């Protein structure tokens, strides 16, 4: 089991404790996520077809979107960027590009998607309580 999970044995009872403080919502979210990731590895569970190995969820094509040429460092044409608003979804050429512009896009309220080589669209920031997992 990965830290901070602990195994406690008391007679015939074994407790696997994943959360240090059961009254702390953020701690419970973190613990539940780590537990699920651990079980997925231990059980060699397959990835759901609506998700990819990065934890990105497949997204439907939005009604209004703009394709932006963005490099992996997040460099984008300032004129094109200035034309964006919260009703627009930005589609970029790669996951790295999506991650690179994510903070600026979030500040504008703009959704970010990327397309893979098979033409599937991915949301690298699906709704939910997520943590970044470091193995």
Whole-model pTM: value is 0.71
Q: Where are the domains of the chain?
A: 6-42, 57-123
What pLDDT score was predicted for residue 133?
Answer: 47
Beta bridge partners of 51: 57
Can you read off the two tokens belonging to residue 2?
Answer: 């990965």
Please list the pLDDT of the chain residue by residue as tens digits (135 residues). 888 899 999 999 999 999 989 899 989 988 988 898 888 889 988 888 899 988 899 999 888 899 999 888 889 999 999 999 899 899 999 999 999 999 999 999 999 999 999 989 999 999 876 655 443
Cα 76 to Cα 1, 25, 112, distances in angstroms? 43, 38, 13
Predicted pLDDT of residue 41: 85
Report the pLDDT value the prediction gives residue 124, as an integer from 0 to 100: 94
């Amino acid at each position: 089991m990965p830290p901070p999970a602990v195994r406690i044995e008391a007679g015939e009872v074994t407790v696997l404790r994943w959360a240090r403080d059961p009254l702390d919502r953020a701690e419970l979210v973190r613990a539940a996520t780590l537990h699920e990731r651990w079980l997925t590895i231990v059980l060699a569970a397959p990835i759901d077809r609506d998700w990819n190995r990065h934890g990105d969820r497949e997204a439907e094509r939005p009604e209004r979107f703009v394709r932006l040429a963005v490099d992996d460092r997040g460099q984008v044409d300032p004129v094109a960027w200035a034309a964006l608003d919260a009703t627009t979804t930005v589609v970029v050429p790669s996951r790295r590009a999506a991650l690179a512009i994510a903070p600026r896009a979030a500040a504008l309220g703009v959704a970010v998607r990327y397309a893979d080589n098979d033409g599937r669209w991915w949301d690298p920031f699906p709704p939910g309580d997520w943590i970044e997992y470091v193995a």
